[in-house]
Structure 1
């Protein structure tokens, strides 16, 4: 529970973070070891933190982002003093709006890579030696996709076996030089330039089939020139 300077509960919402004066951590928890599976490496605070990276995606304006950042910095300082956990710069702590940071601070959790954990249990490494391609996907393929998410984990594993990787995404916002450096050979977008985003979402199945057909035509008989 978060209390203000008068000992009253702080209302829910990011706007109240700066008002927290005291933290009452949960008592009597008898938890097994908690592992927090994260698909991003963003810390809680800073230029790549939860507020500055994810809040604008949810519609927050510049002033709100700065308010949230100050609130998270304040919370991280209190957590460090009262629990000993240092979450401000912890990789992955900014995942899910800081949920991962809370799990570390109040459940003694450990942040681990979600995709690496899934890959370890999936058996993909045993299948790759007999594969020519691995085809994976992403809603919006951008540079965050290469920072600990599914695509980056699959690309790293496939590279160990010399297997080519293709990404079929809803939309693509990564330069070719960037995804090639990450070990990804082919990237195709379901949404073409003449489509609206609403059309692409409403007709996702058809768009995916067309993109998969383009991949087969362009790559399965050999890579296109250039």
Structure 2
């Protein structure tokens, strides 16, 4: 029995690496000599760096950077073993988990630390970047990141603006004279699974601002700031950052990477599957196990199980999804190439209990063991 395990993290519960380990133990309960390949996945959000480092045999580096509120935080990023590519999750430097509920305020949070991570990687010799945009606490259109990289954003007095979404409305001039010289040698591939424009009713402020702590009044101010800022970028750089598909991702970081750094915004799971060369790894396997925290209508829209299932089903390889929960009325299983799906929740419990890491690990192993015990009993007849 040859099995490929390719799961996403169960967000807030267990990493893809740790969860894959539990599944592997479950398989070996039934097939002690199984040939198991583990390829952790991510779609640009939590766990992207860990999964890419695992896939490329790379390592994790740590750097002290400016955090979302302007104080110092320790952030990490990944690098590939071949020394070519750096993997950065923006949340490591400006993510929601770095703040308490009372600290959330996109008027003041900054992406400056993301730029510092990029500089550290460039100065360590990396020129290819894979960026995960998920989980930012910011709405500054990436201005903080760009400031760290040497761009200057000046107000009507000719003074450089400070941090946060509130400064967007005061930007009157952009100076790119002192941009870090290594940037011109770099290529950015950005995992971005949203299509929102920069501003407007479907833009960064209105759609994502509230979850980052923005009040209705703040949302209006942030949106007006984004609109004004886009007009300045259009005038000074001759770039339309508003209408870029995904410009509003991560509070406008999508616009910054695409408009200022020539970054390519693309599906997170497609980017991941290309890096790990899944089509090569999947050859000759008898079964694929995939999974994530919640299987629902969003799964078919660029999530890891859907990407895996499409490739496996084209090769007539069965795909089993082992997940935290299944919203079955929202998820047409067969239409997405999955053979079957199973929830690991085995009794009534609170969300907190279900998401406990030890519980998730134990349940993943148990459910996998039962599935493969059944498969073995059928095959042995």
TM-score by length of 1: 0.74
Unaligned runs of 5+ in 1: none
Match of 2:267 among 113, 125, 142: 113
CA distance in 1, matches of 2:201, 2:347: 31
Q: Which residue of 2 aligns with 1:29?
A: 181
Report what 2:171 is aligned to: 20
Q: 1 CA distance for matches of 2:287 and 2:330?
A: 18
SS of the counterpart of 1:163?
coil
Residues 1:138 and 1:50: Cα distance change in structure 2 (over 3 Å): farther
Question: Deviation of residue 102 (structure 1)?
Answer: 1.1
Distance in 2 between residues matched to 1:40 and 1:97, nearest whole Å:
14
Deviations 1:68-94 (A, max 9, x none): 333333333332332233232323333
- Does the 8 Å contact 1:39/1:148 carry over to 2? no
Q: 1:209 is matched with which residue: 360, 365, 368?
A: 365
Query: What is the root-mean-square deviation in Å for CA atoms of aligned residues?
Result: 3.4
Task: Please report how far the alpha carbon of residue 193 of structure 1 lies from its aligned counterpart in structure 2 after TM superposition.
Answer: 7.5
Selected match of 1:86 from 235, 240, 249: 240
| TM-score normalised by structure 2 residue count | 0.48
> Which of 186, 196, 203 is residue 43 of structure 1 equivalent to?
196
1:167 alignment partner in structure 2: 321
Per-residue CA deviation, residues 159-217 of structure 1 (Å, 9 max, x unaligned), is 33233433333344463544543333433344568322222222331233344356557
Checking the alignment, whether the CA contact within 8 Å between 1:85 and 1:104 is kept in structure 2 is: no
Matches within 5 A, 1:117-136: 117-136=271-290
Count of aligned residue pairs for this structure pair: 222
Q: Which moved more, 1:183-192 or 1:107-116?
A: 183-192
Partner residue, 1:197: 351
Contact 2:293–2:323 (CA<8 Å) still a contact in 1? yes
Change (3 A) 1:76 1:129: same
Gaps of 5+ in 2: 1-151
Higher normalized contact order (CA 8 Å, seq sep 6+, divided by chain length): 2
Matched residues in 2 for 1:79 and 1:33: separation? 21
**Structure 2 counterpart SS, 1:130:** coil
